[in-house]
Amino acid sequence: MTEGQKTPFIVREIREQFPALRQQVYGKNLIYFDNGATSQKPQVVLDAINKYYSKDNANIHRGVHFMSQRATTDFEEARKIIQKYIHARKSEEIIFTKGTTDGINLVANSFGDLLTPGDEILISAMEHHSNIVPWQMLCQRKQLILRVAPINKKGELITEEFDKLLTKKTKLVAITHISNTLGTINPVKELAQKAHAVGAKILVDGAQSIQHMPIDVKDMDCDFFVFSSHKVFGPTGIGVLYGKEDLLDRMPPYQGGGDMISRVTFERTTYNELPHKFEAGTPHIAGGICLGEAIKFLSGLDIDAIQTHEKDLAHYAQDLLDTFEGMRIIGEAKKKTSVVSFIMEGIHPFDLGTLLDKQGIAVRTGHHCTQPLMDFYGIPGTVRASFAFYNTRQEVDTFIEAVEKSIQMLK
């Protein structure tokens, strides 16, 4: 879609396209503030899922028949939609994965194979477990060293410390674009420049960024960018790894099987070209096509207006929460997106989350797959409200009332 075709951003109209938001839980109108964990799906995506399985269901890439060819075309079309949306140079640089976790594991295994003992991987202290554990496993397997760039109490990367840890030994920087727990936006473009200056590559975990801001992998100049479909209004079980072509070409395949081969004999197998080299077996065809639909939907929206709206919701919620006595906001970075994590003195996050749930409000409680981060703050977990463009100030008001009520019940 071109710029001119974007529809003006009107929350009420957007909400109508998300059937899941129209339900009640425990007799209360649902307020869905768990978008950091997964997002709801617009009608166009639901329709695409239905259409695919009702009409187009066939295996792709090898079929001679009509349905197979149609499914192949749609699947490859989705790849192109995604390529354009994140501004990749070629659609061959878009690899379908199962999600962010799968994408990182692919890089850890495949790019990791090119590394040698003593090489270093640099991550940050605010990473999701899925951007920690695959590197730990790789470091064990290949005798590499994992370095962790620390953060300050506000939840921002400490630049000087990062700079000190980034050396000629660093082969890869793996860092989240936006922290799922704190909302911190990392300066990934700047980090990419620094990484490249010492000859390192950079992987950006985009699981929390693509649904909130425009993504341009060329401008960012990252070597890898990963995200999950389900957090960007698409189905679960599918995601994307973007990688620079020359790098992907140099990397060995991650998994072996059908579709990733060019020629197989018992003595020797040659591999298929990109992107198929990294897509062994039957992919999640419906998932890929419907992720394409979700991205198409997103590209029809005014992303600037979305950003303004989401930022407003987060500020509004945070300011109101801040008025409670004993309230501690976790994550106060200057550059932050629509996540508000908090704890109340003397109240376990789980208890608060449970009471909010009974009032129809879906939030997440716990460590948010960032246990080292919880250790850093010395807390068991937080309550996290994470917003999407379909949320409203009115919902925030109801949420604040519910928090107040819950606190009174728990004190």
Q: Minimum CB separation from ligand PLP for residue 271, in Å?
A: 25
Nearer to ligand PLP among residue 109 and residue 272 (C-beta): 109
Query: Is residue 186 near ligand PLP by the rule CB under 6 A?
Result: no
Nearer to ligand PLP among residue 11 and residue 240 (C-beta): 240
Provide the 10 A C-beta neighbour count for residue 114. Answer: 15
Nearer to ligand PLP among residue 72 and residue 209 (C-beta): 209
Q: Minimum CB separation from ligand PLP for residue 44, in Å?
A: 21
The 8-class DSSP code of residue 139 comes to: H
Reference 384, options 336, 327, 343; nearest CA is 343
Three-state SS at 22: helix
Q: How far is residue 31 CA from its own chain's centroid?
A: 22
Distance CA 37, CA 147 (A): 27
Query: Is residue 386 near ligand PLP by the rule CB under 6 A?
Result: no
DSSP 309-358: HHHHHHHHHHHHHTTSTTEEEE---SSB-SEEEEEETTB-HHHHHHHHHH
Q: Minimum CB separation from ligand PLP for residue 180, in Å?
A: 3
DSSP 379-408: -S-EEEEE--TT--HHHHHHHHHHHHHHHH
Query: Is residue 228 near ligand PLP by the rule CB under 6 A?
Result: yes
Binding mask 103-132 for ligand PLP (x = CB under 6 A): -------------------------x-xx-
Distance CA 58, CA 70 (A): 9
Catalytic residue among 139, 222, 290, 369: 369
Provide the 10 A C-beta neighbour count for residue 390. Answer: 23
Q: Minimum CB separation from ligand PLP for residue 368, in Å?
A: 8
Write the CB contacts of 320 (distance below 8 Å, at least 6 apart in sequence): 396, 400
Query: Is residue 208 near ligand PLP by the rule CB under 6 A?
Result: yes
Reference 369, options 114, 47, 38; nearest CA is 38
Q: Minimum CB separation from ligand PLP for residue 227, in Å?
A: 8
- Pick the binder of ligand PLP from 207, 232, 294, 355 (CB under 6 A): 207
Amino acid occupying residue 381: G
- Pick the binder of ligand PLP from 205, 223, 279, 293 (CB under 6 A): 205
The 8-class DSSP code of residue 56 comes to: I
- Pick the binder of ligand PLP from 83, 100, 338, 365 (CB under 6 A): 100
Query: Is residue 35 near ligand PLP by the rule CB under 6 A?
Result: no
Chain residues 253-282 in contact with ligand PLP, contact rule CB under 6 A: none
Q: Minimum CB separation from ligand PLP for residue 208, in Å?
A: 5
Reference 359, options 395, 312, 314; nearest CA is 395
Taking contact as CB under 6 A, which single stretch among the options 22-30, 96-104, 167-175, 211-219 is the one that binds ligand PLP? 96-104
Nearer to ligand PLP among residue 335 and residue 358 (C-beta): 335
Nearer to ligand PLP among residue 228 and residue 337 (C-beta): 228
Query: Is residue 101 near ligand PLP by the rule CB under 6 A?
Result: yes
Distances in Å between the Cα of 71 and the Cα atoms of 136, 170, 283, 287 are: 38, 42, 12, 12
Binding mask 41-80 for ligand PLP (x = CB under 6 A): ----------------------------------------
Taking contact as CB under 6 A, which single stretch among the options 20-28, 204-212, 214-222, 295-303 is the one that binds ligand PLP? 204-212
- Is 290 catalytic? The answer is no
Query: Is residue 212 near ligand PLP by the rule CB under 6 A?
Result: no
Judged on CB neighbours under 10 Å (0-12, 13-18, 19+), 188 is buried
Write the CB contacts of 108 (distance below 8 Å, at least 6 apart in sequence): 134, 135, 137, 138
Nearer to ligand PLP among residue 207 and residue 215 (C-beta): 207
**Count of residues in contact with ligand PLP, rule CB under 6 A:** 12
Catalytic residues: 369
Binding positions for ligand PLP, rule: CB under 6 A: 99-101, 128, 130-131, 176, 180, 205, 207-208, 228
